[in-house]
Amino acid sequence: MIEFTNETLANGVGVIRPVGRLNMVSAPHLGANIDALISDGTVRLVVDLAGTDFIDSSGLGALITGLKKTRQAGGDLRLANPTAQITAVLEMTNLNRVLQPVASVDGAY
């Protein structure tokens, strides 16, 4: 089971923190969190992956869909604190070039 916490920082950046496995079961929940923030007018998002220990193609798909939606709304989506497993998956799929992971939430924008 995965849990999500959302926070909006003082600079208006929305932070989503998934804790657990980001897979085909939990990916729709990530999408719902992204959609909710965009609906509230928060279009600069960071997904903090420090507590996410696994990601599969469904999780990657949810991140790419979120990136597309935030950009269509005039914002962007960035990744922060990816674990070694997630970094390896991003590099193998070359999605590290698109999703641009950074070391910390503060460094994302």
Q: Is pLDDT at 1 greater than 90 in this prediction?
A: no
Residue 59 and residue 92 in contact, taking contact as beta carbons nearer than 8 Å: no
Mean pLDDT of the chain, nearest integer: 97
CA-CA-CA-CA torsion sign (94, 95, 100, 101)? negative
Please give the average per-residue pLDDT across 30-42, as a whole number: 98
Please give the average per-residue pLDDT across 42-56, as a whole number: 97
End-to-end CA distance of the chain: give it in Å, rounded. 30
Please give the average per-residue pLDDT across 54-58, as a whole number: 97
- Report the greatest alpha carbon distance in the chain: 35
Domains of the chain, residue spans: 3-99
pLDDT tens track for 17-27: 999 999 999 99
Q: 3-99, which class in CATH? A: alpha beta
Distance, in Å, from the CA atom of 66 to the CA atom of 46, rounded to the nearest integer, reads: 10
Please give the average per-residue pLDDT across 54-80, as a whole number: 98
